[in-house]
Amino acid sequence: MKMYKVGLPFIGISSLLLLLSPVANAAEMSNMDHGNMDMSNMDMSNMDHSGMDMSDMDMSNMDHSGMDMSDMDMSNMDHSGMDMSNMDMSNMDHSGMDMSDMDMSSMDHSSMDMSGMDHSSMDMSGMDHSSMNMDMSGMQGGEPPPNARSPDYSNGVDYGQYGKPVMMGSLPLWGVSVETLGYQFENDQIDFEAEGWYGTDSNRVTLRSEGSAQTNDDKEIDSLSSLAYWKPLGIFWNGEAGIAYNTENDKSAIMAGIAGTAPYFVETDARAYLYTDGQVQLDLGAAYEWRLDQRWMVRPELELTAFSKDDTDNGITKGFNEFEAEVRLAYETFSRQLAPYVGFSYESALGDARDLRRQEDEDVDSNSLTAGVMFWF
């Protein structure tokens, strides 16, 4: 038997070649193109990735555009132990990936950072989200949190025996206002002007009456009363429309008017009355409260009356017929709801009405001291 002796140099070279072989294979796989890999029939359901550490993997330059993963079944893959928290996927291109048939219901992506990924071209139209267990209770449109404020601001507190509060503007209320209730010493008569209402801040029914009552022998009462519907027309003005009756000429009429506050807090009202005989009466009024202090005030008032045609039987001529003015000094008492006053009044006929009164032997001009009270409740 022949014996061959191998020298030490040959053994060293052989060992070096064996060590370099895996390195060469790894270098050859690093330049592999996975773009045309067909993984559609791969069954990865039983693969256990629990011990894999992918935290240092750099997948930023990987091209997945040509990978077809439509038939991959990943429903049973266990990714629970995978550490993907440090994976950099910011430059990955998923635009060509077809994931329409993938079942990812059991995958846990809670630790993955995908903030830089571009999903604009991904086609997810065929994905089934029915089995995904997502908690969206904290999103807008879901159930409110336990400490959320209730819609009626009660915060769960019972309203008690008085019930749920209601805005004052929506409650039907009522009120009475008496602007004039006084005695004229010269003319020996009682003047009155009062109004009552019922309704809300948006809609009301008003009953209004003004006139005078003689206190001498005949005890004659002249009044103009109206029942109207009241509604705001703006911030400072209110409108009225209804029916009226005048005891002086014993006729009924249709009434329409406007009342409110003009600039500089001047109380203004204008009312028109259309009587059954075609006569139209227009009443204009203005008043201002000049306060001397918190209780005392001076109140001047002006009134004008005009008619559309002559009515000699009732002492009426066409145009402006009468002018009235009064100045009062009042003192408010009892929470400002009651104000006694003293004043001075002046009345004068205008235009052709002056001649008509002279023919009937009536005073054309008159003035008188007055005393009375104003109140509301």
Which H helix or E strand runs over 246?
strand 237-246
Q: Return mean pLDDT, the chain.
A: 78
Full-model pTM: 0.58
**Distance (Å, rounded) from C-alpha 241 to C-alpha 230?**
7
226, 237, 371, 211: which is closest to 305 by C-alpha?
A: 211
Q: Is the pLDDT of residue 376 over 90?
A: yes
In the prediction, which pLDDT does 335 show? 85
Q: What's the mean pLDDT in 98-117?
A: 58
In the prediction, which pLDDT does 290 show? 96
Q: For the chain, what percent of residues have pLDDT higher than 90? A: 47
Strand partners, 204: 199, 230
Higher pLDDT, 283 or 45: 283
Q: Is the pLDDT of residue 9 over 70?
A: no
- CATH architecture of structural domain 170-376: Beta Barrel (2.40)
Q: Is the pLDDT of residue 27 over 50?
A: no
Per-residue pLDDT reduced to its tens digit, 132-186: 555 555 556 667 676 666 666 666 666 777 777 777 667 888 999 999 999 999 9
Per-residue pLDDT reduced to its tens digit, 333-345: 988 999 999 999 9
Q: Is the pLDDT of residue 353 over 60?
A: yes
Tokens at residue 111, please? 């630790």
DSSP per residue, 105-163: TT---TT---TT-B-TT-B-TT---TT-----TTSTTSPPPTTPPPTTS-TT---GGG-
Specify the range with the lowest mean pLDDT, choosing from 23-32, 203-212, 234-243: 23-32
257, 303, 259: which is closest to 280 by C-alpha?
A: 257
Per-residue pLDDT reduced to its tens digit, 59-91: 556 665 555 555 655 556 655 555 555 666 656
CB atoms within 10 A of CB 38: 11
Burial class (CB in 10 A: 0-12, 13-18, 19+), 151: exposed
Q: Is the pLDDT of residue 197 over 50?
A: yes
**Distance (Å, rounded) from C-alpha 349 to C-alpha 140?**
74
Q: What's the mean pLDDT in 7-25?
A: 52
Per-residue pLDDT reduced to its tens digit, 293-321: 999 999 999 999 999 999 988 889 999 99
